[in-house]
Structures are given as structure tokens and as C-alpha cells.
Amino acid sequence: MRNDTKYDPEIDPSIREALEAAERDRELTEKIRREIERYSRQNPPEEDTPPFDPDPTESAPARPKTKKRIASIISGSILSDNELRKFYPYLIGFALLLLLYIANIFGLQRLYRTQQRLDAEIKELRTRSVELSATRMQQTQRSSIVRQAREQGLDLKESTTPVKIIEK
């Protein structure tokens, strides 16, 4: 029995869909290649830039660049890279914004702590004010004044005649 028989799309419709998708991909790749060739004929490449030749069969390079980039970040040599020098103003601006953000957070935390302290102080003062008002009210009652006069040994007696109001 030979194993090179083709798949029957009637039996497995997903094979037909996969074949159609692969064909669409090939057509799209060919269309892109033609467009690039047309563009490169209209605009010849500069001397420094190599011509663009996409090769879909060529595999992506391995990842040794990633290790080199990580090593350059850790060592700090990435800062001397000419391509990154054009981003220095943006990096400085970002760093300044970051510092402003941090300063803003610390300022807000300080204000929050101050507000909490002042709220607690207001609560204590309000309680003390209510206590003092109650004490003053109690001490200014007529019966309390008479009792205090007796305790101090003052020989005062209550008037039996009503009080006269003098008008100006």
C-alpha cells in the first residue's frame, strides 16, 4: 500500500479550507513581491541601502541579538548607540514626567496624612466644645448658683420680688 494518496476534500472539508488558505497566502505573497518590484523600479534604492528581496522560504535568524541587547542594557553600552541617541530627548522628558508623578504621589500622601490628623483634631475639639457647653449650661442654672452660694458660705437670699427691667 502506498502512502502518497491525496486527501479527498469530500471526506475531510477542513483540508479544502487549508488548501484554499495556503493558495490565498501564495497569491498575496506574489502580489506583494510584484508591488515591491514595481516600487523599486520607480524609486531606485540609495547607495547605502541594499535592495529589498523578501524570501519567504528563508527562516528567521536565531536569537543571539536578544542576548546581546540584554547584555548591552545591563552594561549600559546601549546608551552610546547612535540609533538610540535620537530618542534621548524623549527619554529625558519621560524621566521628568515620571519624577513629577512620583513627587505628586508623595505630596498627595502628605496632604492625606495632614487631613487625617486635622480631622481627628476637629473631632476632639468638637467633643470638648460639647462637654464645655454642657458644663457651662449646668453651672448657670438657678439651682446650681444657689447651691454654690450656700457651699461658699455666702449669706445670700433669693429675692421674693420680681426683677425690674430698666429700659434705656
In this predicted structure, what is the pLDDT of residue 69?
78
Mean pLDDT computed over 72-91: 81
**pLDDT score for 30:** 92
Q: What secondary structure letter does DSSP report for 159? A: -
Q: What is the pLDDT of residues 1-21, one digit of tens each?
A: 444 455 565 666 677 787 888
- 19-52 pLDDT, tens digit per residue, is 888 889 999 999 998 888 888 777 765 666 655 5
More confident call, 11 vs 107: 107
CB atoms within 10 A of CB 36: 14
Angle at 107 between CA 104 and CA 108, to 5 degrees: 85
Using the predicted structure, report yes or no on whether residue 76 has a pLDDT greater than 70.
Answer: yes
C-alpha cell at 53: 528581496
| CA distances, 161 to each of 3, 47, 157, 164, 167 (Å) | 132, 122, 12, 9, 18
Residue whose entry in the numeric block shows the C-alpha cell 504621589 = 105
Please say if the pLDDT value at position 62 is more than 70.
no
Greatest C-alpha distance within the chain: 137
**Spatial distance between the Cα atoms of 44 and 151, rounded to a whole number of angstroms:** 116
For the chain, what are the domain ranges?
A: 8-57, 86-152
Q: What is the pTM of this model?
A: 0.41
Region 115-126 average pLDDT: 97
